[in-house]
Structure 1
Amino acid sequence: MDDFLHNLRSGKLKSERPNRPYGDPQYKGGPRRNVNDRRKGHHDNKESTERLNALKEVVETFVESQNRMADAYHKRIRVEERKARALEIIAESIYKTINPEADNIEALFDVEARATLKAQIPPPSPASETDKTFTPEAVIAETQSEDWMADEASNATSSRKLTELDRQTLQTVIGQMRDKGNSWENIARHITAQGYPTISGKGTWRGVMAKNLYEKMAEK
């Protein structure tokens, strides 16, 4: 009894009393419900709708951008095709310059004749330039026509061999066509169609032959 009174007076008994476990999760009360939580579901739905609308706008913008890029790509292809045709005409002019024996060479370089011929050919309509569609049948027909021209040119020049001037001219033509992205096989068909004989004077040009000639000429 005396010890109990002594401890009470000195405060030792109070200090030894264990603290209430307020930090223990099992003594915590349940979360208090906020009155504003009743309207939280409506707010979330509104945010979801706004996000969906924003995502829809992004997708539509992306699709429109892709369509514009596709249109620009097709227009560029048509421009490159016209450039390829122009290169063929230039190559033909070079060939006729190297071979004066070619037929109608005077008419080829006659300014008045070209002006008359140009006046007789009607200009293409814008619709035919921009709305032209390339069907598989048209591509096959054009390829067959080029192959036929290549065969005819090969038969006509099978008895002639490639001269040094021909090699230099072909180096320039091949370099220009490679810069335009043409494959070696397309270049070989183009060279054959222009009437150039092969290095051996036999057969027709192939992609490997055009590549080897270009690399050998570049090493000089």
Structure 2
Amino acid sequence: MTIRVLLVDDQQLVRAGLRMLCESTEDIAVVGEAAGGADAVRLVHSAGPDVVLMDLRMPGMDGTAATARILADRPATRVVVLTTFDDDDHLYPALAAGACGFLAKDATPGELLDAVRQAAAGGSPFSGPVLRRLVGQATTAWRAERPAAVPPALTQREREVLAWVGAGLSNAEIAARMHVGLTTVKTHVGSLMRKTESPSRVRLAVFAVQHGLAADRP
């Protein structure tokens, strides 16, 4: 299945680079470009993308407002923020508006393409630093919880994947460290989320931290 992507950024050069990257793959197609939030809302209706790569700071309607409008009208659309600003003042309003993922613009091409695929599959892609910050904050908020016992059904390979998720690594980074395919890592992450009853990747990472299973990131 081809993933239909809408690019939203007020810089034409950025959109051109993203288009070239997406069109270098066989499973991702760019169905439109928008230079602002209002155009993005309009194009979501006409182009019907699966995933929107959304900048935040744009003239007129910004990315946070556009995300809220898009998801109010078409809740099945997956919005991944792609921004230079990965601080909490930008992160939390975007997540509150309904964005499913948050990447900094210094992400590698592989990380960005993996994020599009994760989002299309129902996942929540985050840049490593953003994920680690969310995990740290969530762990602090939930530190009063009594950790459940580690499910005995976890395999050694699943424990290894869980350790790297807890360290904030992306699927692509885990695959490289473990010398396995990206699909293998995705399968393990999905299994771990089911076994630990974690509704999101952030919660899975928190589970690893709470139980002392997270690896130390080099």
Q: TM-score range by the shorter chain?
A: under 0.3
| TM-score scaled by length of structure 1 | 0.25
| TM-score scaled by length of structure 2 | 0.26
The answer to which structure has the higher helix fraction is 1
The answer to which structure has the higher strand fraction is 2
Could you say which structure has the greater relative contact order, defined with CA pairs below 8 angstroms and 6 or more residues apart? 1
Pick the structure with greater CA Rg: 1
